[in-house]
Amino acid sequence: MAFFWLFAFLVALLAVEVQFGFVKGQTFMKEWPHAAGISLVNYMDLKLLWPRTQVDLLEYTLQNSKRGDPVDVIQKIDDFCWKTPTMNVGDVKGKIVDAALESMGSSPKVVVEFGSYMGYSTLRLANLLRRTAPDAVLYSVDPNPLGHAVKTTMLDRAGLLGPKVSNELAFSGDVVKRLAEEGKKIDFLFLDHVKHLYAEDTQLAEKLGLFRPGQTIVVADNVISPGAPEYREWMLANKNYESTPHTTLLEYTKSTPDEVIVSKYLR
């Protein structure tokens, strides 16, 4: 009997997800059942399980961090997350992302991140850009409204809220199309959103002419855990990019393998 009700609950949840879903407008039905499974997990994670963690993390950070000090705000988030892991890029992989962006010096004008969640990577990227490329605008994209609110508060706490960070409560594919319509180019793209969209969004951006040959860098998190196998296979075999896979560990873990792929667009 319990199994029946669990099954009925999951079917009802799936129906709601299909109708009003978190991945609305994306490749939900096309990739059934793979995408549907991921969507359901995302739904349960982001709408049922994670909100308490998000509020706890925000409360801890606001109570313990120094106002206007991005390094301290980032440190306090890491302190919390080493005890209660969340899906930030984290302090270990964060250094790989930082190094890729820093290698571009002052040249980036448009930096984009997909899947900003609670804004941890947003803080890291915005803080680094303030030093290395102060004219750059960071487009921080995520369709989750609670994450958007937490991120905005974190940026305010760190003194990074302002015109150089464009908080986009939006789906990644829509932002790619909008940037193309506005005639913009992406200098640096950080992929940390729905894993099965990594390849699709990168291919769309490339097709719409958003990448600068010989300059644009694309960095993908979580290529092994939870995994973006389609992206990995496509990117590592792609002669239009020069890719470096970095073997590392899943955020806030000591033994779960993960990989970050840093790719430069050549042509």
By annotation, the residues acting in catalysis are: 192, 195, 221-222, 251
* Tally of helices (H runs) and strands (E runs) in the chain: 10, 7
Task: State the minimum distance, in angstroms, from the CB of residue 113 to Mg ion.
Answer: 10
- Helix axis angle, 51-64 relative to 145-158, nearest 10°? 10
Total of chain residues touching Mg ion, rule CB under 5 A? 3
Q: For residue 114, which of 106, 125, 103 has the smallest C-alpha distance? A: 125
Task: Tell me whether residue 18 or residue 44 sits nearer to Mg ion (CB atom).
Answer: 44
Task: Tell me whether residue 206 or residue 221 sits nearer to Mg ion (CB atom).
Answer: 221
DSSP state of 238: -
Q: Does 91 bind Mg ion (CB under 5 A)?
A: no
Give the alpha-carbon dihedral of 77, 81, 82, 83, to 10 degrees. 120
Residues making up the chain, counted from first to last:
267
Q: Does 222 bind Mg ion (CB under 5 A)?
A: yes
Task: State the minimum distance, in angstroms, from the CB of residue 61 to Mg ion.
Answer: 19
Q: Does 116 bind Mg ion (CB under 5 A)?
A: no
Contact 97, 260 (CB under 8 A): yes
Task: Tell me whether residue 118 or residue 155 sits nearer to Mg ion (CB atom).
Answer: 118
Which range of residues in 50-58, 71-79, 208-216, 220-228 is near Mg ion by CB under 5 A? 220-228
Task: Tell me whether residue 35 or residue 118 sits nearer to Mg ion (CB atom).
Answer: 118
Residue from 113, 168, 187, 221 in contact with Mg ion (CB under 5 A): 221
- Give residues 190-219 in contact with Mg ion (rule: CB under 5 A): 192
**3-state secondary structure at position 52:** helix
Contact 191, 202 (CB under 8 A): yes
Interface ranges with Mg ion (CB under 5 A)? 192, 221-222
